[in-house]
Amino acid sequence: MIPWLHPKRHDFPPVDQALESPDGLLAAGGDLSPGRIIAAYRQGIFPWYNPDEPILWWSPNPRCVLFPQEIHISRSLRKTLRKTAFKITFDQQFDAVINACAAPRSYAKETWISQDMKAAYSALHQLGVAHSVEVWENDTLIGGLYGLAMGRVFFGESMFSRRTDASKIAFANLVEHLVEWGYDLIDCQVYNDHLASLGAREIPRSLFIDLLGKLLVDRPAHEWTATRRFQS
C-alpha cells in the first residue's frame, strides 16, 4: 500500500519509502495545484498517471539525469544543424508545445498528459516556473520541449518532433543556454535511449536528492527569452 496524500497539505512521504515495483511509486491523491507540484519537484518527486487513474507521485531509483557539460551531439545531428538553420524560441508558444507533446504518438494511442496536467503546467508557466522551447522551420512549429526551472536545475517533462531530430535540436539549444546561465543539472526522470543518445545517464536517487539540496538554494539571474538561429 502507498500513502494517500492529504487534500490540502503539500507534504509527501520520504522518497526512500517509494516502491521498488513499480519503480518509484511513492503516493497517490492530492491535487495538481502549483504549490503541490513545486513542493514535489523540490523533493525529487513528480506526477505521472493515466487519465482514468488517481494522481500518482513518483521518485524512481536510479534517476536519469544529464549534466549540461556532458551533452553529446552526434555527428549526424551536427550535420543536420549545419545544413539547416532552424529558428529557436523560448516561452513563445507554451500551450502549443504541451499540446503537441500530448498528441498521440505512432507507438502509443494514449497520452499521460491529460487536460488536467496541461492546465496545471500552463498555470506554472504563468507563474514563471514552467518553460518551453520551440523549434521553427519558417513559421511552422516542428519540435519543442517543456519543463520546470528551479534553482540551478531544469526538470524536463516532455518533447516532440514533427521533423527528424527536431526535439534533439530543441534540447541541444536549451542545454547551450543552461550552460551559459549557470545551470548544473537536468532531470530526465526515467532512462530512455533517446535521452541517453544525448548524454543522459542514471545516478542513484540518493545522489540526486543530495544534488537538489545544493542546487535549489539559489537561482541564476537571467530571462527566459531567446530567439536565435541554432548554429553548430
pLDDT at res. 226: 64
What are the cell numbers at 42? Answer: 523540490
| Element counts in the chain: helices (H) and strands (E) | 7, 12
Judge whether residue 216 has pLDDT over 50. Answer: yes
Q: Which of 91, 73, 71, 205 is nearest to 148 (CA)?
A: 91
User: Rounded CA gap, 65 and 155, in Å?
Assistant: 9
| Residues 86 and 188 placed together within one structural domain of the fold | yes
Q: In terms of Cα–Cα distance, which of 117, 122, 184 is closest to 150?
A: 184
Q: What is the mean pLDDT of residues 190-207?
A: 95
- Domain range holding 158? 64-229
In contact, 147 and 156? CB cutoff 8 Å: yes
Count of domains observed in the chain: 2
List strand residue ranges (DSSP E) for 110-203, in order. 130-137, 140-150, 153-161, 185-189, 201-203
My answer on whether 72 and 169 are in the same domain is yes
**SS3 of residue 133 by DSSP:** strand
Q: Which residues contact 120 (CB under 8 A, 6 or more apart)?
A: 32, 33, 34, 37
Q: What is the pLDDT of residue 229?
A: 55
Q: Which pLDDT score is estimated for 231?
A: 44
**In a shared domain, residues 174 and 224:** yes
Last residue of a domain, one of 60, 91, 108: 60
Rounded Cα–Cα distance for residues 130 and 188 (Å): 15
Task: Band the pLDDT of 166: cuts 50, 70, 90.
Answer: very high
CATH classification at residue 88: 3.40.630.70
- The predicted pLDDT at position 107 comes to 47
The model's confidence at residue 78, banded by pLDDT at 50, 70 and 90, is confident
